[in-house]
């Protein structure tokens, strides 16, 4: 019996010891992008910013070379359980926050309205199987939940009431993706050991990629050129 217990313990240890780790890195911006454009908000939305200028967010940087809002993913990866935690997008100051996010197919995308204004949430997918919808959301109203069945890059959410409001969600059929922070840093967690193609996509700067090997983790840095 003691021998059997030891054997089962050894099997359990081996089964649980398959290595996985985090893929981390930093994305830098090379060059100087065109200046962001002023957003001509209506007076009611402008008041929510205390008179401060509001601009587009095509290139989000930390001022020290880091580039945010890049979608980072393992191309062709499989697995990763669908998270029961929703991806949250807020409407605040008549802007969608965050501007760029990522989710897994069938994961809940929850849209909030923190504004004292009526919005309508209008996702406009382009992939067959992902359904378009258009729902009004009262000022500080109840959250609206959305899910999408198929992978799709930069699926657009917009508000028809305020035509400058956009948010983009990249949907994946696996769990190994992330969005870079303002300083360009990113982390994809729990990646099993193996060889992968790591891809970075920016809506304006385009796509770069490199082959990586994960052995309990991996690190890779990228550069995106301003366009």
Q: pLDDT category, 81, cuts 50, 70, 90?
A: confident
For residue 226, is it within any domain?
no
For residue 209, is it within any domain?
no
Nearest to 205 by CA among 102, 70, 101, 96: 70
For residue 8, is it within any domain?
no
For residue 106, is it within any domain?
yes
CB contact at 8 A, 91 and 113: yes
CB contact at 8 A, 214 and 189: no
Q: In this model, does residue 153 exceed pLDDT 60?
A: yes
Q: Please, is 153 exposed, middle or buried when counting C-beta atoms within 10 Å of its C-beta (0-12, 13-18, 19+)?
A: middle
Number of domains in the chain: 1
Q: pLDDT category, 18, cuts 50, 70, 90?
A: low
Q: Please, is 24 exposed, middle or buried when counting C-beta atoms within 10 Å of its C-beta (0-12, 13-18, 19+)?
A: middle
Residues in the chain: 227
pLDDT (mean) for 6-33: 69
List, in order, residues 6 or more apart from 157 with CB less than 8 Å away.
Answer: 89, 96, 111, 121, 122, 123, 124, 166, 167, 168, 169
pTM: 0.90
Q: In this model, does residue 65 exceed pLDDT 90?
A: yes
Q: In this model, does residue 110 exceed pLDDT 80?
A: yes
The predicted structure's pLDDT at residue 19: 82
Q: What CA–CA distance (Å, rounded) separates 92 from 115? A: 5
At residue 60, the 3 state secondary structure works out as coil
Copy the structure tokens of residue 35.
């200046």
CATH number at 60 reads: 2.60.40.420
Average pLDDT for the chain: 92
Q: What CA–CA distance (Å, rounded) separates 202 from 102? A: 12
What is the per-residue burial (b if ≥16 Cβ within 10 Å, else e) of 108-122? Answer: bbebbbebebebbbb
The predicted structure's pLDDT at residue 14: 35
DSSP class of 149: S
For residue 112, is it within any domain?
yes
Q: What CA–CA distance (Å, rounded) separates 105 from 155? A: 12
The predicted structure's pLDDT at residue 16: 40
103 is in which domain, residue-wise? Answer: 39-71+80-191
pLDDT in tens, 27-51: 999 999 999 999 999 999 999 999 8
The predicted structure's pLDDT at residue 6: 37
């Amino acid at each position: 019996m003691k021998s059997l217990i030891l054997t089962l313990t050894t099997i359990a240890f081996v089964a649980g010891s398959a290595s996985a780790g985090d893929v981390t890195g930093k994305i830098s911006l090379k060059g100087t992008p065109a200046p962001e454009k002023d957003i001509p908000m209506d007076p009611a939305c402008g008041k929510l910013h205390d008179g401060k200028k509001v601009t587009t967010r095509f290139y989000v940087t930390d001022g020290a070379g880091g580039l945010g809002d890049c979608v980072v993913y393992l191309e062709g990866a499989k697995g990763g359980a669908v998270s029961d935690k929703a991806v949250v997008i807020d409407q605040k100051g008549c802007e969608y926050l965050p501007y760029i996010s990522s989710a897994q197919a069938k994961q809940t995308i929850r849209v909030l309205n923190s504004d004292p204004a009526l919005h309508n949430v209008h996702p406009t997918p382009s992939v067959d199987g992902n359904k378009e919808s258009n729902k009004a959301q009262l000022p500080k109203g109840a959250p609206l939940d959305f899910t999408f069945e198929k992978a799709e890059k930069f699926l657009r959410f917009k508000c028809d009431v305020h035509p400058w409001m956009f948010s983009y969600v990249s949907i994946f059929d696996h769990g190994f993706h992330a969005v870079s922070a303002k300083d360009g840093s990113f982390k994809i967690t729990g990646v099993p050991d193996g060889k992968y193609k790591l891809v970075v996509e920016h809506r304006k700067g385009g796509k770069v990629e490199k082959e990586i090997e994960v052995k309990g983790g991996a690190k890779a840095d990228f550069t995106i050129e301003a366009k």
